[in-house]
Chain A
Amino acid sequence: MSYTAEISRANPSCFLFVIDQSGSMQDVMDPTNVQQMDAPVSVDGRTYTQTASGDSKAKGLSDAINHWLFELVLKCTKSEGPRDYYHIGVIGYGAQVGPAFNGSLAGKELVPISEIANSPARMEDRTKKVSDGAGGLVDQAVRFPIWFDPLANNGTPMCDALTRAHSILSQWVPQHMASFPPTVIHITDGESTDGDPTSVAENIRKLATNDGNVLLFNLHFSTNKAKPISFPDNETGLPDQYAQMLFRISSTLPDHIREGAKKDYPVTEGSRGFAFNADIVELIRFIEIGTRPSNLR
C-alpha cells in the first residue's frame, strides 16, 4: 500500500471530481462594484441584499476544472495522440446529482482521457502570452476547450453525491487492482443538506487497489472570510464546523504528494488533502500536485 504503482495504459488511474452546484455557488468570489439593492431578493431559500460584479464561485470552479483537464490532456498526449493513462469523471450536485460534462460526454460517469481530448463541448478563442524568440512576449490566439459549464441552483445533497461517487468507484476499483488508486476531488462551499457525509466518505476511502486506498481530497469554498488554509494537520484553527467536518473526512497526504507540496506548504506527516478558501490559482495547483505522481510512464 505505497502509492507507487506506475501509471500506464495497461494500468491507468482515475480522477473523479464531485462538484457542489448548489444555489450558493452563484456567490461572487471577489466582489467589486458592490451596491445595495432597493429590496431583498430570495433565490433558492437565500436572501440577497446586494449586487456585485465578478466571477461567481461556480464560474471559477468550472474554469479551474476546464484548465486542469486541458493540462492533463496535454500531459498524456504523445505523437500518436492522447494515451489513456487516466479515466476522468465529474459528478455535480445541486438540483440533481449526476455526471456534469456538457456536450457529447453528457451523462457519462468515467471517460478515458483520449475521449475527453476528442470531445470538448466547444472550443473558445482565447489569447495567451508566448515568447517572441527575442526576449519579449506576444499575444497568440489559441483555441481553448470547454467540457464543463458553471451551474448553480437548489440545495447541497452532499451525501447523495458522495454515495454516487462510491458506487462508480466500487465498479472501477476491482477492474484495476494493479493501478494507482483513484483520486476523488470534492469541491463544496458549505453545509450538506442531506445529512452527515462522514460515513459515506469513509466508505470511499476504504476502497483500495493493491497500491493503496482511494484518496479523498476536499476543497472548501466559504463565504467566511477567514484566511486560506492548505494541507492542515489538525482541525484547530479551521474557521467553522463545516471546514472541520471536511478536514476529518479527507485522506492523509501520501508521501509523494507531501514531497511535492513541501516546497510551497508547511506540510507534516499528518497533513490532510484539505484546503479552505484556496484561491483559484492555488486550487489548480492543489489539484495538480494532488494528481501528479512522479512516476507517470
Chain B
Amino acid sequence: MHVSPRVRWSPKFGNAPEDYEDASCLKQSNRERDVIRLAVADGATEASFSREWANLLVDAYCAGQFTKDVVSQLQQKWLVDVGAKSLPWYAEEKLQMGAYSSLMGLTLHAPIEGEVGKWEALAIGDSCLFQIQHDKLIVKWPLSKSALFNNSPILLSTKPECNDDQDKLTILGEWTPGDLFFLMTDALAQYYLQAVEQGDSPASVIPDFSLQPFPEWIADLRSSGQIRNDDVTLMRVCVA
C-alpha cells in the first residue's frame, strides 16, 4: 500500500500561527507494516489548552491506542501537563472547565491477497471524512450535509463526566487504488459539502496547491464569505 499524504492548515484570520488549535497526525505502524493511521482534531475555541488536548488525541489514535482506558490516561496526562506550574486565578478556573476537541481518525489496511483494501474510521464531533472514487463522493461522514453543522458539536472532554461513550462513532469501508480521502476540520468540511451540493466536482473542490498556496486560497474563501473564520486543517491522502 502506498499513500501520498498532504497536510495543510491555517489559523483563523486575526490569530497568529501559535494560536492555531487544530491538530493532525499520520503514522505508518512499525509493527503492522500494512496499516496507516491518520487523524485530525479541532480543539474548542472557548476552552484553554485545547491544542494540547487535540494533539494528545491525534497522537493516541495514530499510535493505534484509542481505547476507553487510554482516553482516561490522556485525560490525566493533560491535567498533569497543563497544571504542572503555578497558574494565575483565571488559568486555574479555566483548567477546571476542561478542554474539548473533536477527533476524526482513519485507519487504512493494505489489501490482503485477492481482496480489496479495507478502512475503518472513528469520529467524535464535527471533523469529517470524505472518500472519492472515480470523481464520486462515496463517503461523507459523520455529517453528510452542509446544513448539519452548528456551533455546539459534541466534543471529547478532558473531564470524564462530560463524555458519553455513545458519542464515539465508527464506520467501516473499502478502498480501491486511486481513491482519494480527505479529513477536514469543520469549517472546511462545511464549505466542501456546500460546494458539492452546488454541483462542483468532488475531486476538484480542493485545488492542487501548486499554483496557489493553501493559506491564500483559504484567505480568498474567507474574504468572499464562503467559509467561516475558524482554524482550518486539511489532510489529503491518495491511496494506491
With a cutoff of 8 Å between Cβ atoms, the chain B residues found around residue A120 in the complex are: 89
Is B24 part of the contact surface with A, judged by Cβ < 8 Å?
A: no
Is B96 part of the contact surface with A, judged by Cβ < 8 Å?
A: yes
A117 touches B90 (CB 8 A): yes
With a cutoff of 8 Å between Cβ atoms, the chain B residues found around residue A206 in the complex are: none
0/1 interface trace, chain A 60-91, chain B, CB 8 Å (1 if under): 00000000000001110111111000000000
- For B97, give the chain A residue with the smallest CB separation: A74
Bound-state Cα–Cα, A79 to B53, Å: 11
A82 touches B14 (CB 8 A): no
Is A167 part of the contact surface with B, judged by Cβ < 8 Å?
A: no
B14 touches A117 (CB 8 A): no
From A75, A79, A81, A297, contact of B51 by CB (8 A): A79
Bound-state Cα–Cα, A9 to B12, Å: 13
With a cutoff of 8 Å between Cβ atoms, the chain A residues found around residue B82 in the complex are: 79
0/1 interface trace, chain B 151-188, chain A, CB 8 Å (1 if under): 10000000011000000000000000000000000000
* Nearest CB in chain B: distance from A267 CB, A: 21
A78 touches B48 (CB 8 A): yes
Is A262 part of the contact surface with B, judged by Cβ < 8 Å?
A: no
With a cutoff of 8 Å between Cβ atoms, the chain B residues found around residue A79 in the complex are: 48-52, 82
Is B134 part of the contact surface with A, judged by Cβ < 8 Å?
A: no
Q: How many A-B residue pairs have CB under 8 A?
A: 47
With a cutoff of 8 Å between Cβ atoms, the chain A residues found around residue B51 in the complex are: 79
From B12, B97, B160, B161, contact of A297 by CB (8 A): B12
* Nearest CB in chain A: distance from B79 CB, A: 13
CB within 8 Å of A: which of B39-59?
45-46, 48-52
Is A131 part of the contact surface with B, judged by Cβ < 8 Å?
A: yes
| Range of interface residues on B (Cβ < 8 Å) | 20 to 34
A118 touches B88 (CB 8 A): yes
| Contact A81/B91 with A6-B229, A131-B161, A133-B161 known, Cβ cut-off 8 Å | yes
Is B93 part of the contact surface with A, judged by Cβ < 8 Å?
A: yes
A123 touches B160 (CB 8 A): no
Bound-state Cα–Cα, A9 to B19, Å: 12
With a cutoff of 8 Å between Cβ atoms, the chain A residues found around residue B49 in the complex are: 79
- For A117, give the chain B residue with the smallest CB separation: B90
Is A142 part of the contact surface with B, judged by Cβ < 8 Å?
A: yes
B96 touches A130 (CB 8 A): yes
Is B136 part of the contact surface with A, judged by Cβ < 8 Å?
A: no
Bound-state Cα–Cα, A159 to B88, Å: 39
From A74, A80, A297, contact of B93 by CB (8 A): A74
A77 touches B161 (CB 8 A): no
From A8, A73, A297, contact of B90 by CB (8 A): A73
A142 touches B93 (CB 8 A): yes
From A130, A131, A143, A297, contact of B14 by CB (8 A): A297
Is A10 part of the contact surface with B, judged by Cβ < 8 Å?
A: yes
With a cutoff of 8 Å between Cβ atoms, the chain A residues found around residue B97 in the complex are: 74
A82 touches B229 (CB 8 A): no
Is B8 part of the contact surface with A, judged by Cβ < 8 Å?
A: no
- For B52, give the chain A residue with the smallest CB separation: A79
| Contact A77/B48 with A82-B90, A117-B88 known, Cβ cut-off 8 Å | yes
